[in-house]
C-alpha cells in the first residue's frame, strides 16, 4: 500500500472543536518526507508497514511542489492519516483511535498514487484552442510487481500468461521526455504544435487543433488494436512485439490507440503526443520506448467542398467499390480533396521544421486503419529518409466513433526520428541521458533555433558473442533482445544476429549473436561487461530454455 496526496489528508473531522487551530499549528509537520516516515512507524504498530520504506532511517523521498504539500480538505481517509501521524498535540487516545480508523479504510479501498488524466471516453467537447499538458508526473509513476499483480500509475493489473512487461520498461513510464522543457523531443513537439496553432485557425482566430500530450500510456487491447480495425491474426498483435500487462491491458504501441476515443468525444482536429512501447531490435535507431505524435482532421461535406466551384453538388459518400485509390463508401472527389489537404499540411510541416527547398516524395503503403495510405520521405543531406505514415481514415473507424457524416485523414510521426535527423543525434539512447553535456546543448531561447549536436566523447566498444541451440519453434529473437536489454540496459549499444546454423543430422538450430557494449557517457571495464554477459548467458538458459554453446 502506498500513499500520496490523493489519500491524504484532513477531511471528515473539520467540524471537530479546535481542529482548524490544530491544523494551523501543525503545518510544519506536513512535509511529505517526514510524514511518510511517521506513517510507516504508526502502521508498524498495526503490522502494516509501507512497502519499500526502511525500518530504521527516514526515507529520502523527492521533494514535492507546494501544491502537493498541503492536506486536502475533502478526504475522510486523509483526516485519519493526519490525526494518526501529525496530530502530535492531540491526546494519545485520539491518535490511536484515528490509526484504527485508518486501518479500517485501508482494508476496504485502494488509493491511487496520482490523479491520472480522465478517461477520454465520455469527456466533454473541448474548445479548439485547448491544450492538455497535464501529463502523468514521473515522481508518481513508480510501479511495483508483487505476487500476481502489477501496480502501475496507481492501478493494479492482474498478471496472466500474456504479462511480459519488465521492471526496466516500467521504470520508463511517466518520464514524459516530450514534456521536459528544453529536451530535444520537447523542442520538436513544440515546433509542430506552434506550426499547427499558427497555420490552422477557426473563424475567430483560435487554433483549430487541440493538443493532448498527457494521456496515460496504459490502454486496453481494444483501444490499441480493435478500435483501429486491426485483425485478430495481424502480426502487430503478437506478444513478442508488444508489452502486455495482461490479456486485456497493455502499454500502447502507438498513439493511434487514442484516435477512436478522441473522435468519440466530439473532436474533429487534434494532435496526441506520448510515449509508446514496442519490443524491437537493439541498435542505435531502435529503443523499446519512443515517442509519437498522432494527427487527425475530420471534414464535413460543407467544410470539404466550400471552396470548390459548385461544391454543393458534390457528396462525401456513395455506394461503390473499393479500389487502390479509395474506399467503397467514398466518392472520388472527396478522397482526392482529403488526400490533397493531407499532403499539403504535412509538406508545410516538414518545410517548417527542415527549411525551404525540401524535397518530398510519397510512397504507397498499407495500414489497417487508413486507405489509401502513404509514407512520406524527405531528401535530407542527399539521402531519402522516411519520416511518417499517413492516409485517409477508414470510414468504419470514423462511423463507429460517432462521426458518420464526416471524412478525415490521420498521420503518425516519431519525435525521435525527426530529432535525430534535425539535430544529427547519432544514438537513440542519448534521449534518455541525464548528462549535462548532452542536455545543455538544447537550452535555446527559441524553439526553432538551429542546433548542431556536438557528440560526447566516443568511448571504445567492448564486443562479446553468445551462441546457443534454440529450444523450439516458439523461440523469438525479440525474446532474447528483451532479455539482453533487461539485464544490460543502456550499456548495450547493439545486438546483431551474426550467424544461424542448422545441424545436418539433428536439425537443431543454433543462433550466434554479437553484443556490442558501449556506454554513451563513460568507459566500460572488461570485468563489468563480463559480469553482464555472464548474467545474460545464465538467464537465456534459465528463462528461454536455450542450450548454451558458451
Q: What is the mean pLDDT of the chain?
A: 80
C-alpha cell at 268: 474533429
pLDDT number for residue 194: 96
pLDDT number for residue 52: 41
Kindly tell me if the per-residue pLDDT of 16 is higher than 60: no
Burial (CB count <10 Å: 0-12, 13-18, 19+), residue 434: exposed
C-alpha–C-alpha distance, residues 285 and 172, integer Å: 18
Which tens digit of pLDDT belongs to each residue from 445-503? 999 999 999 887 678 889 999 999 998 778 889 999 999 999 998 899 999 999 999 99
| Residue 270: pLDDT band with limits 50, 70, 90 | very high
What order do you get walking across the sheet with 492-502 strand by strand? 492-502, 509-517, 462-469, 547-548
Burial (CB count <10 Å: 0-12, 13-18, 19+), residue 309: exposed
C-alpha cell at 248: 486485456
| Residue 343: pLDDT band with limits 50, 70, 90 | very high
pLDDT number for residue 110: 35
Kindly tell me if the per-residue pLDDT of 128 is higher than 90: no
Least confident of 84-93, 257-266, 414-423: 84-93
Which tens digit of pLDDT belongs to each residue from 235-259? 999 999 999 999 999 999 999 999 9
What value does the mean pLDDT take over residues 118-129? 36
**365-388 burial: b if 16+ Cβ within 10 Å, else e:** eebbbbbbbbbbbbebeeeeeebb
What order do you get walking across the sheet with 269-277 strand by strand? 131-132, 210-212, 269-277, 289-299, 407-414, 383-393, 370-380, 359-367
C-alpha cell at 217: 500510456
Which tens digit of pLDDT belongs to each residue from 193-209? 999 999 999 888 899 99
Which tens digit of pLDDT belongs to each residue from 32-64? 444 444 554 444 443 444 434 444 444 443 333
Residue 133's SS3 state is coil
| Residue 117: pLDDT band with limits 50, 70, 90 | very low
Please answer whether residues 143 and 170 qualify as being in contact, where contact means their C-beta atoms are separated by less than 8 angstroms. Answer: yes
pLDDT number for residue 10: 37
pLDDT number for residue 309: 84
pLDDT number for residue 156: 92
Structural domains present in the chain: 5-108 (no CATH), 131-423 (3.30.930.10), 462-548 (3.30.70.380)
| Residue 147: pLDDT band with limits 50, 70, 90 | low
Least confident of 34-43, 65-74, 506-515: 65-74
Tell if the pTM clears 0.85, that is, is over it: no
Give me the residues paired with residue 427 across strands: none
**Rounded to 5 degrees, what are φ and ψ at 426?**
-85, -20
pLDDT number for residue 472: 76
Question: Is 208 or 22 the better-scoring residue by pLDDT?
Answer: 208
**Rounded to 5 degrees, what are φ and ψ at 441?**
-70, -15
Please answer whether residues 140 and 172 qualify as being in contact, where contact means their C-beta atoms are separated by less than 8 angstroms. Answer: no
C-alpha–C-alpha distance, residues 393 and 324, integer Å: 14
pLDDT number for residue 99: 59
Amino acid at each position: 500500500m502506498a500513499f500520496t496526496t490523493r489519500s491524504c489528508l484532513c477531511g471528515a473531522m473539520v467540524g471537530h472543536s479546535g481542529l482548524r487551530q490544530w491544523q494551523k499549528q501543525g503545518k510544519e509537520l506536513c512535509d511529505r518526507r517526514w510524514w511518510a516516515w511517521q506513517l510507516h512507524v504508526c502502521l508498524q504498530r498495526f503490522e502494516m508497514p509501507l512497502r519499500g520504506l526502511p525500518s530504521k532511517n527516514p526515507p529520502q523521498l523527492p521533494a514535492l511542489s507546494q501544491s502537493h504539500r498541503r492536506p486536502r480538505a475533502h478526504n475522510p481517509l486523509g483526516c485519519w492519516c493526519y490525526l494518526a501521524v501529525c496530530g502530535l498535540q492531540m491526546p494519545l487516545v485520539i491518535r490511536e483511535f484515528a490509526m484504527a480508523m485508518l486501518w479500517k479504510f485501508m482494508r476496504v479501498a485502494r488509493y491511487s498514487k496520482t490523479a491520472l488524466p480522465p478517461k477520454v471516453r465520455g469527456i466533454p467537447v473541448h474548445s479548439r484552442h485547448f491544450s492538455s499538458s497535464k501529463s502523468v508526473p514521473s515522481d508518481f509513476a513508480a510501479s511495483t510487481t508483487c505476487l500476481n499483480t502489477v501496480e502501475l500509475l496507481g492501478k493494479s493489473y492482474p498478471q496472466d500468461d500474456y504479462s511480459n512487461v519488465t521492471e526496466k520498461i516500467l521504470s520508463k513510464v511517466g518520464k514524459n521526455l516530450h514534456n521536459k522543457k528544453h529536451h530535444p523531443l520537447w523542442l520538436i513537439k513544440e515546433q509542430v504544435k506552434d506550426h499547427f496553432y499558427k497555420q490552422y485557425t477557426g473563424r475567430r482566430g483560435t487554433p483549430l487543433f487541440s493538443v493532448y500530450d498527457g494521456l496515460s500510456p496504459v490502454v486496453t487491447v481494444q483501444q490499441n488494436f480493435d478500435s483501429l480495425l486491426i485483425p485478430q491474426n495481424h502480426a502487430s498483435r503478437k506478444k513478442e512485439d508488444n508489452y502486455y500487462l495482461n490479456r486485456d491491458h497493455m502499454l500502447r504501441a502507438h498513439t493511434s490507440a487514442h484516435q477512436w476515443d478522441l473522435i468519440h468525444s466530439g473532436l474533429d482536429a487534434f494532435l496526441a503526443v506520448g510515449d509508446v512501447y514496442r519490443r524491437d531490435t537493439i541498435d542505435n535507431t531502435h529503443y523499446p520506448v519512443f515517442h509519437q505524435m498522432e494527427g487527425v482532421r475530420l471534414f464535413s461535406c460543407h467544410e470539404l467542398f466550400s471552396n470548390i466551384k459548385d461544391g454543393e453538388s458534390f457528396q462525401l459518400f456513395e455506394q461503390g467499390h473499393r479500389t487502390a485509390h479509395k474506399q467503397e463508401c467514398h466518392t472520388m472527389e472527396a478522397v482526392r480533396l482529403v488526400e490533397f489537404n493531407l499532403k499539403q499540411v504535412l509538406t508545410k510541416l516538414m518545410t517548417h521544421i527542415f527549411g525551404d527547398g525540401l524535397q518530398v516524395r510519397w510512397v504507397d503503403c498499407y495500414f489497417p486503419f487508413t486507405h489509401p495510405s502513404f509514407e512520406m520521405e524527405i531528401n535530407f543531406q542527399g539521402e531519402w529518409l522516411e519520416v511518417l505514415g499517413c492516409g485517409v481514415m477508414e470510414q468504419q473507424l470514423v462511423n463507429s466513433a460517432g462521426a458518420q457524416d464526416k471524412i478525415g485523414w490521420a498521420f503518425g510521426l516519431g519525435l525521435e526520428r525527426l530529432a535525430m535527423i534535425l539535430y544529427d543525434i547519432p544514438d537513440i539512447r542519448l534521449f534518455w541521458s541525464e548528462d549535462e553535456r548532452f542536455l545543455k546543448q538544447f537550452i535555446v531561447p527559441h524553439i526553432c533555433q538551429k542546433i548542431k549536436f556536438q557528440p560526447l566523447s566516443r568511448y571504445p566498444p567492448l564486443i562479446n558473442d553468445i551462441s546457443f541451440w534454440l529450444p523450439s519453434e516458439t523461440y523469438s529473437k525479440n525474446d532474447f533482445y528483451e532479455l539482453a536489454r533487461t539485464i544490460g540496459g543502456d550499456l548495450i549499444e547493439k545486438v546483431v544476429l551474426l550467424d544461424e546454423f542448422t545441424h545436418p543430422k539433428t536439425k537443431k538450430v543454433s543462433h550466434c549473436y554479437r553484443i556490442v557494449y558501449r556506454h554513451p557517457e563513460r568507459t566500460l571495464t572488461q570485468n563489468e561487461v563480463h559480469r553482464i554477459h555472464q548474467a545474460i548467458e545464465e538467464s537465456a538458459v534459465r528463462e528461454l530454455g536455450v542450450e548454451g554453446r558458451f
